[in-house]
Chains A and B, each alone.
Chain A
Amino acid sequence: MTAPLPLDVAGGTTPSLVVALGVGVAFGWCLERAGLGSAPKLMGQFTLRDMTVLKVMFSAIVTAMLGLFWLSWLGVVDLSRVAVPPTFIGPQIVGGVVFGAGMALAGLCPGTSCVAAATGRLDGLTVAAGFFAGVLVTGLAVPAMADFYESGTRGAFALPAALGVTQGTVTFVVVAGALTAFALSGRVERAMAARAARVRP
Protein backbone atom coordinates (compact mmCIF):
# COMPACT_ATOMS: atom_id res chain seq x y z
CA MET A 1 0.00 0.00 0.00
CA THR A 2 1.26 3.47 -0.77
CA ALA A 3 0.90 6.56 1.37
CA PRO A 4 -1.06 8.70 2.05
CA LEU A 5 -3.26 6.43 4.11
CA PRO A 6 -6.95 6.19 3.13
CA LEU A 7 -8.13 8.10 6.20
CA ASP A 8 -11.03 10.02 4.66
CA VAL A 9 -9.83 13.35 6.03
CA ALA A 10 -12.76 15.25 4.54
CA GLY A 11 -15.21 12.87 6.18
CA GLY A 12 -13.90 13.70 9.66
CA THR A 13 -13.34 10.08 10.67
CA THR A 14 -11.93 9.52 14.16
CA PRO A 15 -8.53 8.18 12.97
CA SER A 16 -8.06 11.24 10.76
CA LEU A 17 -8.88 13.52 13.73
CA VAL A 18 -6.35 11.70 15.92
CA VAL A 19 -3.76 12.42 13.22
CA ALA A 20 -4.94 16.06 13.12
CA LEU A 21 -4.46 16.43 16.86
CA GLY A 22 -1.01 14.81 16.79
CA VAL A 23 0.14 16.90 13.82
CA GLY A 24 -1.22 20.03 15.54
CA VAL A 25 0.58 19.35 18.82
CA ALA A 26 3.88 18.83 16.98
CA PHE A 27 3.27 21.93 14.82
CA GLY A 28 2.54 24.10 17.88
CA TRP A 29 5.56 22.68 19.70
CA CYS A 30 7.89 23.55 16.80
CA LEU A 31 6.53 27.10 16.43
CA GLU A 32 6.86 27.78 20.17
CA ARG A 33 10.39 26.30 20.36
CA ALA A 34 11.50 28.47 17.44
CA GLY A 35 10.20 31.57 19.24
CA LEU A 36 7.59 32.36 16.60
CA GLY A 37 4.87 32.73 19.25
CA SER A 38 6.51 36.01 20.19
CA ALA A 39 5.55 39.08 18.15
CA PRO A 40 8.81 41.04 18.72
CA LYS A 41 10.83 38.03 17.54
CA LEU A 42 8.61 37.52 14.50
CA MET A 43 8.82 41.22 13.64
CA GLY A 44 12.61 41.00 13.77
CA GLN A 45 12.30 39.42 10.33
CA PHE A 46 10.66 42.54 8.90
CA THR A 47 13.05 44.97 10.58
CA LEU A 48 15.91 42.70 9.41
CA ARG A 49 17.29 42.28 12.96
CA ASP A 50 16.41 38.61 13.46
CA MET A 51 15.94 36.33 10.45
CA THR A 52 14.38 33.47 12.45
CA VAL A 53 11.16 33.46 10.38
CA LEU A 54 13.05 33.02 7.12
CA LYS A 55 15.30 30.31 8.58
CA VAL A 56 12.42 28.34 10.10
CA MET A 57 10.05 28.68 7.14
CA PHE A 58 12.52 27.85 4.42
CA SER A 59 14.14 24.99 6.36
CA ALA A 60 10.63 23.56 6.77
CA ILE A 61 9.70 24.04 3.10
CA VAL A 62 12.99 22.53 1.91
CA THR A 63 12.68 19.55 4.29
CA ALA A 64 9.10 18.72 3.34
CA MET A 65 9.74 19.32 -0.38
CA LEU A 66 12.83 17.08 -0.50
CA GLY A 67 11.07 14.48 1.66
CA LEU A 68 8.07 14.33 -0.69
CA PHE A 69 10.28 14.19 -3.78
CA TRP A 70 12.39 11.29 -2.56
CA LEU A 71 9.58 9.36 -0.85
CA SER A 72 7.69 9.56 -4.14
CA TRP A 73 10.79 8.44 -6.03
CA LEU A 74 11.09 5.45 -3.69
CA GLY A 75 7.45 4.62 -4.39
CA VAL A 76 6.34 5.23 -0.79
CA VAL A 77 4.09 8.24 -1.47
CA ASP A 78 1.66 8.72 -4.35
CA LEU A 79 1.99 12.45 -5.05
CA SER A 80 -1.23 12.53 -7.06
CA ARG A 81 -3.12 11.85 -3.82
CA VAL A 82 -1.57 14.71 -1.85
CA ALA A 83 -3.94 17.69 -1.89
CA VAL A 84 -2.33 20.76 -3.56
CA PRO A 85 -3.93 24.11 -2.62
CA PRO A 86 -5.56 25.46 -5.81
CA THR A 87 -4.08 28.49 -7.54
CA PHE A 88 -6.11 31.68 -8.15
CA ILE A 89 -3.55 34.10 -9.60
CA GLY A 90 -5.11 37.55 -8.98
CA PRO A 91 -6.83 36.84 -5.66
CA GLN A 92 -3.69 35.25 -4.25
CA ILE A 93 -1.45 38.18 -5.19
CA VAL A 94 -3.93 40.75 -3.84
CA GLY A 95 -4.70 38.52 -0.83
CA GLY A 96 -0.97 38.14 -0.20
CA VAL A 97 -0.42 41.91 -0.20
CA VAL A 98 -3.37 42.49 2.16
CA PHE A 99 -2.29 39.58 4.36
CA GLY A 100 1.32 40.74 4.54
CA ALA A 101 0.27 44.29 5.48
CA GLY A 102 -1.96 42.91 8.23
CA MET A 103 0.79 40.61 9.45
CA ALA A 104 3.25 43.49 9.85
CA LEU A 105 0.61 45.46 11.80
CA ALA A 106 -0.36 42.51 13.97
CA GLY A 107 3.16 41.22 14.56
CA LEU A 108 1.91 37.63 14.26
CA CYS A 109 0.32 35.40 11.63
CA PRO A 110 -2.83 33.30 12.27
CA GLY A 111 -0.97 30.14 13.30
CA THR A 112 1.52 31.92 15.53
CA SER A 113 -1.26 34.03 17.08
CA CYS A 114 -2.73 30.75 18.38
CA VAL A 115 0.68 29.84 19.80
CA ALA A 116 1.00 33.27 21.42
CA ALA A 117 -2.55 33.10 22.82
CA ALA A 118 -2.01 29.59 24.24
CA THR A 119 1.12 30.73 26.07
CA GLY A 120 -0.67 33.66 27.70
CA ARG A 121 0.19 36.49 25.33
CA LEU A 122 -2.81 38.84 25.28
CA ASP A 123 -1.61 40.46 22.04
CA GLY A 124 -1.79 37.01 20.43
CA LEU A 125 -5.33 36.54 21.68
CA THR A 126 -6.26 39.93 20.23
CA VAL A 127 -4.73 39.08 16.85
CA ALA A 128 -6.67 35.79 16.80
CA ALA A 129 -9.93 37.62 17.66
CA GLY A 130 -9.27 40.23 14.98
CA PHE A 131 -8.45 37.51 12.45
CA PHE A 132 -11.69 35.67 13.26
CA ALA A 133 -13.66 38.90 12.74
CA GLY A 134 -11.80 39.64 9.50
CA VAL A 135 -12.48 36.19 8.09
CA LEU A 136 -16.14 36.36 9.10
CA VAL A 137 -16.82 39.80 7.59
CA THR A 138 -14.81 39.14 4.41
CA GLY A 139 -16.42 35.71 4.11
CA LEU A 140 -19.86 37.35 4.22
CA ALA A 141 -18.70 39.73 1.47
CA VAL A 142 -17.47 36.97 -0.87
CA PRO A 143 -20.73 36.83 -2.92
CA ALA A 144 -20.45 40.59 -3.50
CA MET A 145 -16.99 40.18 -5.04
CA ALA A 146 -17.55 36.75 -6.57
CA ASP A 147 -16.15 37.77 -9.98
CA PHE A 148 -12.78 38.75 -8.56
CA TYR A 149 -12.79 36.00 -5.94
CA GLU A 150 -13.09 33.30 -8.60
CA SER A 151 -10.81 34.97 -11.15
CA GLY A 152 -7.52 33.54 -12.40
CA THR A 153 -8.41 30.02 -11.37
CA ARG A 154 -5.83 27.42 -12.41
CA GLY A 155 -6.67 24.50 -10.10
CA ALA A 156 -3.72 22.56 -8.70
CA PHE A 157 -1.01 24.36 -10.66
CA ALA A 158 2.60 23.54 -9.87
CA LEU A 159 5.75 25.46 -10.78
CA PRO A 160 7.24 22.66 -12.97
CA ALA A 161 4.18 22.73 -15.24
CA ALA A 162 4.10 26.55 -15.25
CA LEU A 163 7.78 26.88 -16.16
CA GLY A 164 8.05 23.82 -18.40
CA VAL A 165 10.92 22.30 -16.43
CA THR A 166 11.19 19.12 -14.38
CA GLN A 167 10.16 18.97 -10.73
CA GLY A 168 13.79 18.10 -9.97
CA THR A 169 14.94 21.40 -11.48
CA VAL A 170 12.48 23.46 -9.42
CA THR A 171 13.43 21.47 -6.31
CA PHE A 172 17.11 22.18 -6.93
CA VAL A 173 16.50 25.90 -7.47
CA VAL A 174 14.45 26.17 -4.24
CA VAL A 175 17.19 24.36 -2.25
CA ALA A 176 19.91 26.54 -3.77
CA GLY A 177 17.87 29.70 -3.12
CA ALA A 178 17.20 28.70 0.49
CA LEU A 179 20.86 27.88 1.22
CA THR A 180 21.94 31.20 -0.33
CA ALA A 181 19.33 33.07 1.74
CA PHE A 182 20.54 31.29 4.90
CA ALA A 183 24.12 32.28 4.18
CA LEU A 184 23.11 35.91 3.55
CA SER A 185 20.78 36.16 6.55
CA GLY A 186 23.66 35.87 9.03
CA ARG A 187 25.42 38.78 7.31
CA VAL A 188 22.26 40.90 7.35
CA GLU A 189 21.75 40.23 11.08
CA ARG A 190 25.34 41.20 11.88
CA ALA A 191 25.19 44.31 9.72
CA MET A 192 21.93 45.46 11.34
CA ALA A 193 23.31 44.78 14.83
CA ALA A 194 26.40 46.83 14.03
CA ARG A 195 24.25 49.67 12.71
CA ALA A 196 22.02 49.60 15.79
CA ALA A 197 25.13 49.76 18.00
CA ARG A 198 26.36 52.82 16.05
CA VAL A 199 23.02 54.62 16.22
CA ARG A 200 22.41 53.90 19.92
CA PRO A 201 25.78 53.46 21.64
Chain B
Amino acid sequence: MTDTRSFVRGLGAAAAVLGTLAFVVGAPVRPPHTGRDTVVSAATRDALDERAIEQISASQLARWIRDGKAGLRVLDLRDSSAFETKHVPSAESFALTGLATVLPKPGETLVLYSDDDLRDAQATAWLAGVGHARVHVVRGGMSAWMTEVLSPIVQGDSAKAVGALSRYFGGVPSLVSPDADPRVTSGARDDGSKEVLEFVARRGC
Protein backbone atom coordinates (compact mmCIF):
# COMPACT_ATOMS: atom_id res chain seq x y z
CA MET B 1 0.00 0.00 0.00
CA THR B 2 2.77 2.43 0.89
CA ASP B 3 4.51 1.48 -2.37
CA THR B 4 1.40 2.45 -4.32
CA ARG B 5 1.06 5.69 -2.39
CA SER B 6 4.62 6.80 -3.04
CA PHE B 7 4.38 5.75 -6.70
CA VAL B 8 1.19 7.80 -7.10
CA ARG B 9 2.91 10.76 -5.43
CA GLY B 10 5.76 10.36 -7.91
CA LEU B 11 3.27 10.42 -10.79
CA GLY B 12 1.72 13.59 -9.40
CA ALA B 13 5.15 15.21 -9.15
CA ALA B 14 5.93 14.16 -12.74
CA ALA B 15 2.67 15.71 -13.92
CA ALA B 16 3.52 18.93 -12.09
CA VAL B 17 6.97 19.06 -13.71
CA LEU B 18 5.69 18.28 -17.22
CA GLY B 19 2.84 20.76 -16.81
CA THR B 20 5.22 23.52 -15.70
CA LEU B 21 7.60 22.77 -18.56
CA ALA B 22 4.63 22.91 -20.94
CA PHE B 23 3.91 26.40 -19.64
CA VAL B 24 7.54 27.36 -20.27
CA VAL B 25 7.80 26.04 -23.84
CA GLY B 26 4.31 27.32 -24.67
CA ALA B 27 3.59 25.39 -27.82
CA PRO B 28 3.74 21.63 -28.43
CA VAL B 29 6.00 22.26 -31.41
CA ARG B 30 9.67 23.12 -31.35
CA PRO B 31 10.36 26.57 -32.82
CA PRO B 32 11.50 26.39 -36.44
CA HIS B 33 15.22 26.94 -36.97
CA THR B 34 16.55 29.80 -38.98
CA GLY B 35 19.26 29.63 -41.56
CA ARG B 36 19.44 28.58 -45.18
CA ASP B 37 20.89 25.15 -44.69
CA THR B 38 18.19 24.01 -42.26
CA VAL B 39 16.58 20.78 -43.32
CA VAL B 40 12.80 20.79 -43.10
CA SER B 41 11.77 18.26 -40.46
CA ALA B 42 9.93 15.14 -41.57
CA ALA B 43 6.87 16.29 -39.65
CA THR B 44 6.87 19.64 -41.42
CA ARG B 45 7.30 18.02 -44.81
CA ASP B 46 4.45 15.56 -44.12
CA ALA B 47 2.25 18.39 -42.93
CA LEU B 48 2.99 20.39 -46.06
CA ASP B 49 2.34 17.45 -48.35
CA GLU B 50 -1.01 16.75 -46.80
CA ARG B 51 -2.40 20.21 -46.28
CA ALA B 52 -1.47 22.29 -49.25
CA ILE B 53 -0.61 25.72 -47.88
CA GLU B 54 -3.46 28.16 -48.28
CA GLN B 55 -1.92 30.56 -50.74
CA ILE B 56 -3.49 33.86 -51.62
CA SER B 57 -2.45 36.33 -54.28
CA ALA B 58 -0.82 39.64 -53.40
CA SER B 59 -3.87 41.47 -54.81
CA GLN B 60 -6.16 39.44 -52.54
CA LEU B 61 -4.11 40.63 -49.56
CA ALA B 62 -4.30 44.18 -50.94
CA ARG B 63 -8.11 43.96 -51.14
CA TRP B 64 -8.29 42.60 -47.55
CA ILE B 65 -6.16 45.47 -46.23
CA ARG B 66 -8.11 48.10 -48.20
CA ASP B 67 -11.48 46.67 -47.12
CA GLY B 68 -10.39 46.49 -43.48
CA LYS B 69 -11.01 42.73 -43.20
CA ALA B 70 -11.77 41.93 -39.54
CA GLY B 71 -9.09 40.07 -37.62
CA LEU B 72 -6.45 40.44 -40.34
CA ARG B 73 -2.83 40.32 -39.19
CA VAL B 74 0.03 40.53 -41.69
CA LEU B 75 3.45 39.12 -40.79
CA ASP B 76 6.62 39.95 -42.71
CA LEU B 77 9.12 37.11 -42.29
CA ARG B 78 12.05 38.73 -44.15
CA ASP B 79 14.99 40.09 -42.20
CA SER B 80 14.49 43.44 -40.52
CA SER B 81 16.68 45.43 -42.93
CA ALA B 82 14.55 44.31 -45.88
CA PHE B 83 11.49 45.22 -43.81
CA GLU B 84 12.88 48.71 -43.13
CA THR B 85 13.48 49.27 -46.84
CA LYS B 86 9.98 48.37 -47.93
CA HIS B 87 7.08 46.33 -46.60
CA VAL B 88 3.37 45.80 -47.03
CA PRO B 89 1.39 48.49 -45.14
CA SER B 90 0.20 47.26 -41.71
CA ALA B 91 2.67 44.34 -41.74
CA GLU B 92 4.63 43.45 -38.62
CA SER B 93 8.21 42.22 -38.88
CA PHE B 94 8.86 38.79 -37.39
CA ALA B 95 11.86 36.47 -37.44
CA LEU B 96 10.95 32.77 -37.52
CA THR B 97 12.06 32.35 -33.94
CA GLY B 98 9.89 35.29 -32.90
CA LEU B 99 6.70 33.56 -34.03
CA ALA B 100 6.33 31.94 -30.59
CA THR B 101 4.95 35.26 -29.39
CA VAL B 102 2.14 35.21 -31.98
CA LEU B 103 -0.71 33.68 -29.98
CA PRO B 104 -3.83 32.29 -31.62
CA LYS B 105 -6.89 34.53 -31.30
CA PRO B 106 -10.42 33.58 -32.29
CA GLY B 107 -11.53 35.01 -35.61
CA GLU B 108 -8.03 36.01 -36.60
CA THR B 109 -6.62 35.56 -40.09
CA LEU B 110 -2.85 35.48 -40.41
CA VAL B 111 -1.19 36.34 -43.72
CA LEU B 112 2.54 35.64 -44.09
CA TYR B 113 4.94 36.73 -46.73
CA SER B 114 8.66 36.64 -47.35
CA ASP B 115 10.79 35.95 -50.39
CA ASP B 116 11.50 32.39 -49.41
CA ASP B 117 9.05 29.50 -49.92
CA LEU B 118 10.86 27.32 -47.41
CA ARG B 119 10.60 29.95 -44.70
CA ASP B 120 6.88 30.42 -45.48
CA ALA B 121 6.38 26.65 -45.24
CA GLN B 122 8.17 26.32 -41.90
CA ALA B 123 6.26 29.25 -40.45
CA THR B 124 2.91 27.93 -41.69
CA ALA B 125 3.54 24.46 -40.26
CA TRP B 126 4.56 25.97 -36.94
CA LEU B 127 1.62 28.39 -36.70
CA ALA B 128 -0.88 25.67 -37.64
CA GLY B 129 0.71 23.40 -35.04
CA VAL B 130 0.26 26.01 -32.33
CA GLY B 131 -3.43 26.28 -33.10
CA HIS B 132 -3.84 29.14 -35.56
CA ALA B 133 -6.93 28.25 -37.56
CA ARG B 134 -6.45 30.50 -40.61
CA VAL B 135 -2.95 30.99 -41.99
CA HIS B 136 -2.36 32.18 -45.55
CA VAL B 137 0.82 32.70 -47.49
CA VAL B 138 1.19 35.37 -50.17
CA ARG B 139 2.06 33.59 -53.40
CA GLY B 140 5.35 35.01 -54.63
CA GLY B 141 5.94 36.96 -51.42
CA MET B 142 7.23 40.54 -51.47
CA SER B 143 8.16 40.47 -55.14
CA ALA B 144 4.56 39.57 -56.02
CA TRP B 145 3.39 42.55 -53.96
CA MET B 146 5.72 44.77 -55.98
CA THR B 147 4.59 43.51 -59.38
CA GLU B 148 0.92 42.69 -58.74
CA VAL B 149 -0.05 45.57 -56.48
CA LEU B 150 2.48 48.39 -56.81
CA SER B 151 3.18 48.23 -60.54
CA PRO B 152 0.52 46.04 -62.11
CA ILE B 153 -0.11 45.78 -65.81
CA VAL B 154 -3.74 46.63 -66.31
CA GLN B 155 -5.77 45.26 -69.15
CA GLY B 156 -9.21 43.86 -69.88
CA ASP B 157 -12.34 44.15 -67.77
CA SER B 158 -10.45 44.19 -64.49
CA ALA B 159 -8.34 47.20 -65.50
CA LYS B 160 -10.31 49.73 -63.50
CA ALA B 161 -10.39 47.68 -60.30
CA VAL B 162 -6.73 46.68 -60.48
CA GLY B 163 -5.67 50.24 -61.21
CA ALA B 164 -7.74 51.62 -58.35
CA LEU B 165 -6.36 49.06 -55.92
CA SER B 166 -2.81 49.84 -57.01
CA ARG B 167 -3.30 53.60 -56.63
CA TYR B 168 -4.81 53.04 -53.16
CA PHE B 169 -1.39 51.73 -52.11
CA GLY B 170 0.46 54.46 -54.01
CA GLY B 171 1.28 52.16 -56.88
CA VAL B 172 1.75 52.87 -60.54
CA PRO B 173 -0.44 50.75 -62.80
CA SER B 174 0.75 50.48 -66.36
CA LEU B 175 -1.26 49.60 -69.41
CA VAL B 176 1.20 47.19 -70.88
CA SER B 177 4.55 45.82 -69.88
CA PRO B 178 6.82 48.86 -69.14
CA ASP B 179 9.64 47.75 -71.44
CA ALA B 180 7.20 47.06 -74.27
CA ASP B 181 5.60 50.49 -74.38
CA PRO B 182 7.34 53.29 -72.46
CA ARG B 183 5.06 55.89 -74.14
CA VAL B 184 2.00 54.84 -72.14
CA THR B 185 3.65 54.25 -68.80
CA SER B 186 5.59 57.47 -68.78
CA GLY B 187 2.40 59.47 -68.22
CA ALA B 188 0.90 57.01 -65.84
CA ARG B 189 1.94 58.43 -62.48
CA ASP B 190 -0.85 59.14 -60.02
CA ASP B 191 -3.13 61.67 -61.75
CA GLY B 192 -1.98 60.36 -65.08
CA SER B 193 -3.15 56.86 -64.34
CA LYS B 194 -6.71 58.06 -64.68
CA GLU B 195 -6.01 58.96 -68.29
CA VAL B 196 -4.53 55.52 -68.82
CA LEU B 197 -7.68 53.90 -67.60
CA GLU B 198 -9.87 56.17 -69.70
CA PHE B 199 -7.67 55.35 -72.63
CA VAL B 200 -8.24 51.68 -71.88
CA ALA B 201 -11.97 52.25 -71.65
CA ARG B 202 -12.04 54.21 -74.96
CA ARG B 203 -10.27 51.43 -76.72
CA GLY B 204 -13.12 49.24 -75.55
CA CYS B 205 -11.18 46.36 -74.16
Contact = CB atoms under 8 A, between A and B. Distances in A.
Answer yes or no: A and B touching, Cβ < 8 Å: yes
A68 B103 CA distance: 20
Given A161-B104, A161-B131, A73 B42 contact: no
- In which size bucket is the chain A interface? 35 or more
Given A2-B46, A72-B129, A158-B131, A169 B18 contact: no
Contacts of A167: 22, 26-28, 130-131
A181 to B, nearest CB: 12
A62 to B, nearest CB: 6
Interface string B8-27: 00011001101110111111
Contacts of B1: none
A164 B15 CA distance: 24
B183 interface: no
A83 interface: no
A92 B164 CA distance: 47
A172 B133 contact: no
A168 B28 contact: yes
Contact of A70 (B18, B26, B43): B18
Interface residues on B, range: 20 to 34
B203 interface: no
Contacts of A66: 15, 18-19, 22
A25 interface: no
Looking at B24, B130, B131, the one whose CB has the most chain A CB atoms below 10 A away is B131
B26 A166 contact: yes
Interface string B126-144: 0011111100000000000
A129 interface: no
Contact of B103 (A1, A70, A166): A166
Interface in A143-177: 157-158, 160-162, 164-169, 171-172, 174-176
Instruction: Classify the secondary structure of A's interface with B.
Output: helix
A174 B50 CA distance: 31
A131 interface: no
A34 interface: no
A78 B18 contact: no
A1 B45 CA distance: 10
B106 A169 contact: no
Interface of B: 11-12, 15-16, 18-20, 22-30, 41-43, 46-47, 50-51, 103-106, 128-133
Interface of A: 1-2, 59, 62-63, 66, 68-70, 72-73, 75, 78-81, 157-158, 160-162, 164-169, 171-172, 174-176, 178-179, 182
